[in-house]
Amino acid sequence: MTLKHLQHDIPDIVIGRLPIYLRALQHLAQEGKELTNSDELGKHLGISSAQIRKDLSLFGGFGKQGAGYRIQYLQNKLYEVLNLQKEWEIALIGAGDLGRAVAHYKGFKERGFKISCIFDNDPHKVNQNIDGIPIQPMENVATAIPQYAIKIAMIAVPATVAQEVADLLVAVGIRAILNYAPINLETPDGVFVQYIDPVTHLQRMTYYL
């Protein structure tokens, strides 16, 4: 029986915390630590230790009562749960200022994601490249994405055309979209969307100031 068989209807909010746990474990590992526990993780993350134990228990626990967690073991289990044992290829749509910044960000490659193709509709940008990755015309989306079986895309186009781009991506097999355009996307069931919009985060904080 694999871990996957234990996963029934895990709330998405729990899934959303797992990458945060994983990131904390990676930092502890970098500091040379081998063991941790829910109290230490909770203090570091501002999450109650009970919540962490409850979240991890949904996948079978990963630790022995009273002994805490072996960091390397828990990392590996979270990689397995989150399907991170292999590197994922990503298509980036948009090679303007924002797209270029996204393409230059080193954190993707360091943590298991590789931008393998870039598309833009500006003829002046096509055939240029960003860090060695050629910018392809939008017409290539329909062939390149299925050809390489790419399932994840990042949208970094103006808000006015983001929905149209999303529709195209879904039509050619994309199932997960990280959307940098400041607009909500409507997608069919089975297509997952996450948003990066720093302004909404700032506005959430100004309420309290």
Residue in 37, 60, 152, 172 binding its own copies, rule: CB under 8 A? 152
Check residue 198 for interaction with its own copies (CB under 8 A).
yes
Which of 46, 36, 155, 37 is closest to 91 using CA atoms?
155
Name the residue nearer to its own copies (CB basis): 37 or 137: 37
Q: Which is nearer to its own copies, 131 or 139 (CB)?
A: 131
User: Between 24 and 135, whose beta carbon lies closer to its own copies?
Assistant: 24
Which residues have C-beta within 8 Å of that of residue 141, sequence separation ≥ 6? Answer: 91, 93, 119, 168, 169, 172
Regarding 62 and contact with its own copies (CB under 8 A), the answer is no
Contact status, residue 37 vs residue 66, Cβ threshold 8 Å: no
Distance in angstroms between the alpha carbons of the first and the last residue of the chain? 51
The 3-state DSSP class for residue 105 equals coil
| Sites of contact with its own copies (CB under 8 A) | 12, 15-16, 18-20, 22-24, 27, 43-46, 81-84, 88, 90, 97-98, 100-102, 104-108, 111-113, 151-152, 154, 159, 175-176, 178, 182-184, 186, 192, 194-209
